[in-house]
Structure 1
Amino acid sequence: MPSPIKHLAATMLYALPSVALAWGATALFGFDPKLAALGGLIACLLGAEAHAAISRSVERKAVRKELQELTSLAAGLSRDLDDAADKIVELEERFERETAERMERIFSEIRVVESLVKRLAETREFSGAVVAAAQPPAIEASKPALELASPAPDSDVPPPKPEKRLEEMNDSELLETIRRSLETNRVDLYLQPVVSLPQRKVMYYEGLSRLRTDKGELIMPRDYMRVAEPAGMMPTVDNILLFRCIQVVRKLAQRNSKAGVFCNISAFSLLDEDFFPQFIDYMQHNTDLAQHLIFEFSQMTVNGAGPVERASLEALAALGFRFSMDQVTNLRFDVAALHDRNFRYVKVSAATMLEGRHTAGDIHAGDLKELLRRSGIQLIVDKVETEREVVDVLDLDVELGQGYLFGEPRPVRESVLREEPQPGISIAAD
């Protein structure tokens, strides 16, 4: 809108000429002063009318412009409200979808845990019955059960015996220690690096599960397999270790989006009709782990796979999970068949590779890497212990290595396990 100064200037433009007109008509032309004044007044009024008309026109334009701006602003606000409404609907749908997915993850995990707990209870009853049957009958068996079960009121109940060291335990004590370790979640994940050669840059990890006693002693696989196998407990141990490994790997994947971990699965898990279907259901709700997890099987398991094991492998492969074959003792295997079954890695020990160079066979060790590469499978030479072996392995153009020379298995840090878990996955702290 015009400022007061502009209005004053416009007024002067018609007021001064009107005064000049009235004076000139009287002084120069001899008009009657009253008529001259009236003519000047009329001229001034016409100028004022023109001024008012121009001002109203300017004001109308300003008002129209403001109305257009307000209309545009209102339209923008309306669009923003529509977008906000759409986003709210989208967030509601996303929340419902994610909540449903999380609940499915929780339920699938609960089903697996229930299966493992049930199996653990069954093995406890079975092994307890075996141990009880092996013990001689009690001398006080003829006494009433109440008398045997209840000590005298003023007798001292002896405290529980402290846990023995592993080397001091007999088989039944060791089996009970293993069961307690599983029940109290004393299962640790150790990681051993898989490095690139010759740079020795960490590319992957192999996950190795270890049990701990009450005193913190490690129970190695060679120790617990010796007693768990005869007691029929090995399937349960293997299933729980596998499930625990999967849970911890999920935690690691949250910290490192590029983490790749090899996780071992034995024939016990593949053949378990109760556990494995529920495990597949659990993995269906955790397919995002496919980029982080490579399931690893021994050559003996792969070669001896029957219809049940093959169906289990196909179910995992259908979810996008990749496989690795390790503990290779014979270089004569069908590379194309492995690729068709979704095997993308093969681990061969340095000793097998270096000794295989001098033995006759279908596959020469020096040609194995290239043969696997053509089928989309990477060769990893593991159990590399000396620098001399590294030199010999590099002569075979191997690009990935694993072994104590590059790094021994180390436990996952507690700080990693204490990270806030992703909804649907719970990892209990010891």
Structure 2
Amino acid sequence: MSSIKHSAATLLYVLPSIGLAFGAIELFDFDPKLAALGGLIACLLGAEAHAAISRSIERKQVRQELQELTSLAAGLSRDLDDAADKIVEMEERFERETAERMERIFSEIRVIESLVKRLAETRAASTVAVATEAPAIEASAPAPAYTTPESDVPPPAPERGIEQMDDAELLDAIRRSLETNRVDLYLQPVVSLPQRKVLYYEGLSRLRTDKGELIMPRDYMRVAEPAGMMPAVDNILLFRCIQVVRKLAQRNSKAGVFCNISAFSLLDSDFFPQFIEYMQHNKDLAQHLIFEFSQMTVNGAGPVEQASFEALAALGFRFSMDQVTSLKLDPKVLHDRNFRFVKVSAETLLDGRQMASGDIEAGDLKELLRRNGIQLIADKVEAEREVVDILDLNVELGQGFLFGEPRPVRESALREDAPALSIAAD
């Protein structure tokens, strides 16, 4: 009780006690001492009653506060239990994610080790070949007895560009580009028709020489494939595509990237098993990463290539077939192999509106593919007039310079802490 309430309650029994003493003297002619004693006794009884009532009120308040404290303690206990459960869950998730990340890192390291070994082997093989082909120096030839004056030394030959390089020089330039990680990733959009909204990207690789000159696929594939270096190119392109896919998935859960794989990689007994192991740790990207193979690779697939297709399909990855030169397709077989896209150039589509016997007419191709769960993409579209003719064939996806040229992905955008994907402008 507050002090004001205590004072008021005190007055309720002190004043009546004083009044009782005076009344007894005046009205009943009591002895003043006896009247004062009676007033004092009445005051003490009032004080005792006041104390009893105050203690009762305080006990009620204490019980109420104890109940509130008990309820609060129970709530805190529940919160502590929930916090402990969350901490355990976070620890388990952290351990699981750490283990998965370490597995991905170890698989990347194993693949990179394989690539380094391959590059070293190809370099050693080329060195041996050069040494074998070099003319032997006759032991009897005497050493020159003088040095050529500096003024008589011919100037060094000017560095030659990609067009002037022979196959050996080009192969050495490709090897140096791979060893020094001068492999750039370019993205070209795949758009919806007729809206031209970007739905997918195709990842394209470009190699750079020491001077920064680009080596295009048409140049490096010609010499890299026979030298067994395409798995290295495919693997670096794959790493870059996975980095890009993770960035795209943060902004668009439906975004996808087409990533090319050569037939040489499918047949490589060293590269492909490690490639499959690496993809096992990245199969969460199956809805975003689409592996692309040429029609020649698909049609010429033997038991080894087919087993490679099946291993990737078992992980949930979808396929796309490009470089289609013949419309003799079996959509059902392609679907069974997990092919979900077919890219046909605009020229082949428009020339195929009246095909020879055995080929699918271009006008029927889109619907036939659709019935088998495959989407048709018109590739290499470069003119507006081609778009009009393609739309007459009910094609809903397009790719080509008309919709967007391949643009390099900035290196900074591939870092894990990069906020957004950045594509360099021309």
Equivalent AA in structure 2 for residue 297 of structure 1: F
What's the secondary structure of 2:354's corresponding residue?
coil
Task: Tell me the SS of whatever aligns to 1:73.
Answer: helix
Q: Tell me the SS of whatever aligns to 1:205.
A: strand
TM-score if structure 2 supplies the norm length? 0.89
Measured on the aligned residues, the alpha-carbon RMSD in Å equals 2.6
Identity %: 76
Matched residues in 2 for 1:285 and 1:177: separation? 33
CA contact (8 A) 1:271 1:309 kept: yes
In the alignment, structure 1 residue 334 sits paired with structure 2 residue 311: no
Equivalent positions of 1:176-255 (< 5 A) are 176-229=172-225, 232-233=226-227, 235-236=228-229, 238-255=230-247
Which of 354, 363, 367 matches 2:364?
A: 367
| Structure 1 range deviating more: 254-263 or 115-124 | 254-263
Query: Partner residue of 2:24?
Result: 25
> Which whole-Å deviations, capped at 9, do the CAs of 1:352-408 have from their partners, x for residues lacking one?
111211224453322222222222221111111111100011111111100111111
Alpha-carbon shift at residue 37 of structure 1 (Å): 2.4
**Which whole-Å CA distance do the structure 2 matches of 1:57 and 1:374 have between them?**
86
Of 200-209 and 37-46, deviating more is 37-46
Per-residue displacement from partner, 1:197-223 (whole Å, max 9, x unpaired)? 111111111111111110011111222
Q: Separation in 2 of the partners of 1:223 and 1:92?
A: 51
The corresponding residue for 2:52 is: 53
How far, CA to CA, are the matches of 1:5 and 1:51 in structure 2?
14
* SS of residue matched to 1:291: coil
Are the counterparts in 2 of residues 131 and 172 from structure 1 also a CA contact under 8 Å? no
Q: Deviations over 1:101-144 (max 9, x none)?
A: 2221111111111111111111122222233333322345989x
- Whole-angstrom CA distance in 2 between matches of 1:421 and 1:342: 33
In the alignment, which residue of structure 2 is the partner of 1:307? Answer: 303
Match of 2:404 in 1: 407
Instruction: Give the stretch that moved more between structures: 188-197 or 13-22.
Output: 13-22
Instruction: Structure 2: give runs of 5+ residues left out of the alignment.
Output: 420-426
Amino acid at match of 2:262: S
Counterpart AA for 1:279: F
Q: How far apart, CA to CA, are the structure 2 residues paired with 1:14 and 1:21?
A: 10
TM-score by length of 1: 0.88
* Structure showing greater relative contact order (alpha-carbon pairs closer than 8 Å, 6 or more residues apart): 1
For 1:163 and 1:196, locate their aligned partners in 2 and report how far apart those are by CA, in whole Å: 45
Q: Which moved more, 1:353-362 or 1:313-322?
A: 353-362
Deviates more, 1:218-227 or 1:395-404: 218-227
Contact 1:163 1:215 in 2 (8 A): no
Code of the residue aligned with 2:31 in structure 1: it is D
* Residues 180, 75 of structure 1: alpha-carbon distance in 2 compared, 3 angstrom cutoff: same
Q: Distance in 2 between matches of 1:395 and 1:17?
A: 111
Change (3 A) 1:105 1:312: same
In 2, Cα distance between equivalents of 1:38 and 1:362 = 130
Match of 1:78 in 2: 77
- 175-184 vs 365-374, greater mean Cα deviation: 365-374
